[in-house]
Amino acid sequence: MKYSGWPETGDLVVGKVDEITDFGVFVDLDEYENKRGLAHISEVASGWIKNVRDHVRVGQTVVAKVLDVNESSQQIDLSIKDVNEHQRKEKIQEWKNEQKADNWMLLALGEEVDDETYGAVANGLLAEYESLYDAFEQAAIHGGEALEDTDLSDEEIESIVETARENVSVPYVNVTGYVDLECPAPDGVDVVKEALKAAEGNGEIPNEIELSVSYVGSPEYRIKVRAPDYKTAERELESSADRAKEAIEAAGGSGHYHRERSEEDE
């Protein structure tokens, strides 16, 4: 997707060097329609430059910082030297992600989608998320719920979610906690079993969450949670332990949640 507008001063942009002159480098901006910027020779690299071609070549992809934008004269001043290595790598990854998202849009809407429809759907997603990639990533994790606040049709949402879940590699984190469950009642074993079922969510855990409970050593049980982010993982971990504690305490037993093993692994 290419933006029809203009970059803002201070933005980092990605482009290809399409002309080198004695006074600087012209860069075709990949993220913007029909936009070209100029990095003056003094902004290509630090120090004295004898030959610009020693630092850049035609066809090279570069990351540059926008120094100034003059829409009336159609001029965009750039600096290549003001972008450090960390910024360059981060911007290139962001740019690659948006290229992926652009391909996912075509998969979701069809290769023959017209520009007006594409733009309407893209703007609907960008009204809720910082980038198309973010929108697809959240759709892959949370399904239609992630897009319910957009103005997209049910059919468009369904198509985007389906495409996202088939193509987006979702990052996951793992957390572990422990719960001690004890019940002195004659049916204490059955009570503990029911508490463990409660900990596992009784089949009502969200699709994006993986939760398992395993026996460590009486009275300790391990709860493992795999989720898209730490906040969600920690919340689900504590909720699992709370369900187990409530279930066993309701039957006269006791429960205690902790993050570390009570004893060292053998």
pTM above 0.85, yes or no: no
Domains 87-167 and 173-258 equal at CATH topology level? no
Determine whether 54 is exposed, middle or buried from the number of CB atoms within 10 Å of its CB (0-12, 13-18, 19+): exposed
Architecture of domain 12-82: Beta Barrel (2.40)
CB atoms under 10 Å from CB of 113, counted, come to 14
254-258 sheet: strands from edge to edge: 210-217, 220-227, 173-182, 254-258
* Distance, CA of 178 to CA of 181 (rounded, Å): 10
pLDDT tens, N- to C-terminus, the chain (266 residues): 677 789 999 999 999 999 999 899 999 999 898 999 999 999 999 888 888 999 999 999 999 999 999 999 999 999 999 999 999 999 999 999 999 999 999 999 998 999 899 999 999 999 999 999 999 998 988 888 899 999 999 999 999 999 998 898 877 888 899 999 999 888 989 999 999 999 998 777 877 789 999 999 889 999 999 988 888 888 999 999 999 999 999 989 999 999 876 654 44
**Which residue ranges make up each domain of the chain?**
12-82, 87-167, 173-258
Fold held by 87-167 = DNA polymerase; domain 1 (1.10.150)
Architecture of domain 173-258: 2-Layer Sandwich (3.30)
What CA–CA distance (Å, rounded) separates 157 from 140?
11
Give, in degrees to the nearest 5, the angle at Cα 55 between 54 and 60.
115
